[in-house]
Amino acid sequence: MVLRYVTPTTTRWNARTYDSSFGYVSALGAPLVDLLDPQPGERILDLGCGTGVLTAEIHSRGAEVLGIDGSAMMIEKALAHYPGLDFIVGDGHDFSVAQQYDAVFSNAALHWMSRDPDMVIANVREALRPGGRFIAEMGGAGNCAELRAALATAWREHGLGEPEFPWYFPTPAEYSLRLEKEGFVVRLLEHFERPTPLNECPGGAADWVRMFAAEQLTKAPADQVEPLLRRVNELAAPALRTENGWMADYVRLRFAAVRR
């Protein structure tokens, strides 16, 4: 169990919309669970577990699980959906565990833990037994570049300056160096484009911004939010609106590393 209570992150998450419109995040995490290959009886920690969909999938394969997430709203929803599982509010920058785990798993969450990536990796190392594995997928260099460019341009055009993005999208070289420096052996590291249909987002790129750049939107004057979002759609459409609908230009970094 977790020893220290940890400070929740300030990121605002709408856990309801997350599952209904952005369920693809956990659905597309299924291959990562295969890479984790959880074994019956293993102790596995899911860092940045969100609403717990993948935590539950790992548990269904016989492992003992603990989900940690910085958002109280996400954890509330995870506990409501999976009352038999352990979830706790916690920050990847500041957690420790009493008993070491066989694996730490993380899907689509590490790029949000951008304040100090080394500290996050060090906490993961301490949570693992020697030989324990760290299996994760996160946004990699170039992730959502078109979406970010559209948002930044719309932001500037509305006289709001440069938006401050909360994410950390490292190159493979950069992240593998960090892992090695913090005591991991990198067994696998992939950096790949994963264009992702926004099937459940009728508002297109604007819906993506509402979900993932919610914090930035709170900094815009209320009467500018809708015009800003309309402009984001106009700017992003040439690159991201296809005849089959909107696509998000995701780029992922997926890795398997082992604690020395």
In whole angstroms, the minimum distance from the beta carbon of 112 to ligand SAM comes to 3
**Binding ligand SAM by CB under 6 A: which of 54, 136, 147, 151?**
54
In whole angstroms, the minimum distance from the beta carbon of 174 to ligand SAM comes to 19
Task: Give the per-residue contact string, 145-164, with ligand SAM (x = CB under 6 A; - = no).
Answer: --------------------
In whole angstroms, the minimum distance from the beta carbon of 29 to ligand SAM comes to 5
If one asks whether residue 13 binds ligand SAM (CB under 6 A), the answer comes out as: yes
Task: Give the per-residue contact string, 98-137, with ligand SAM (x = CB under 6 A; - = no).
Answer: ---------xxx--xx------------------------
Residue 13 or 155 having the CB closest to ligand SAM: 13
In this structure, what are the phi and psi dihedrals at residue 160, rounded to the nearest 5 degrees? -100, 10
In whole angstroms, the minimum distance from the beta carbon of 76 to ligand SAM comes to 11
The CA distance from 203 to 205, in Å, is: 7
Of the candidates 86, 70, 42, 62, the one whose C-alpha atom is nearest the C-alpha of residue 78 is 86
Residue 17 or 153 having the CB closest to ligand SAM: 17
User: H or E stretch including 53?
Assistant: helix 53-60
Amino acid letter for position 95 = F
| Bridge partners (DSSP) listed for residue 91 | 94
If one asks whether residue 170 binds ligand SAM (CB under 6 A), the answer comes out as: no
Task: Give the per-residue contact string, 58-97, with ligand SAM (x = CB under 6 A; - = no).
Answer: -----------xxx--x----------------xxx----
The CA distance from 21 to 59, in Å, is: 24
| Sequence-separated (6 or more) residues with CB below 8 Å from residue 16 | 77
If one asks whether residue 216 binds ligand SAM (CB under 6 A), the answer comes out as: no
* DSSP one-letter string for 82-109: -TTSEEEE-BTTB--BSS-EEEEEEES-
Give the number of residues in contact with ligand SAM, rule: CB under 6 A: 23
N residues, the chain: 260
Contact window for ligand SAM (CB under 6 A) among 45-53, 224-232, 234-242, 245-253: 45-53
Contact window for ligand SAM (CB under 6 A) among 21-29, 127-135, 186-194, 234-242: 21-29
**Binding ligand SAM by CB under 6 A: which of 42, 45, 48, 87?**
48
Cite the beta strand spans of the chain per DSSP E.
43-47, 64-69, 86-89, 101-107, 128-139, 184-197, 241-242, 245-259
Of the candidates 148, 98, 155, the one whose C-alpha atom is nearest the C-alpha of residue 127 is 98
* Number of helices (H), then strands (E), in the chain: 11, 8
In whole angstroms, the minimum distance from the beta carbon of 189 to ligand SAM comes to 19
Q: Would you tell me which residues interact with ligand SAM (CB under 6 A)?
A: 9, 11, 13, 25-26, 29, 48-50, 53-54, 69-71, 74, 91-93, 107-109, 112-113
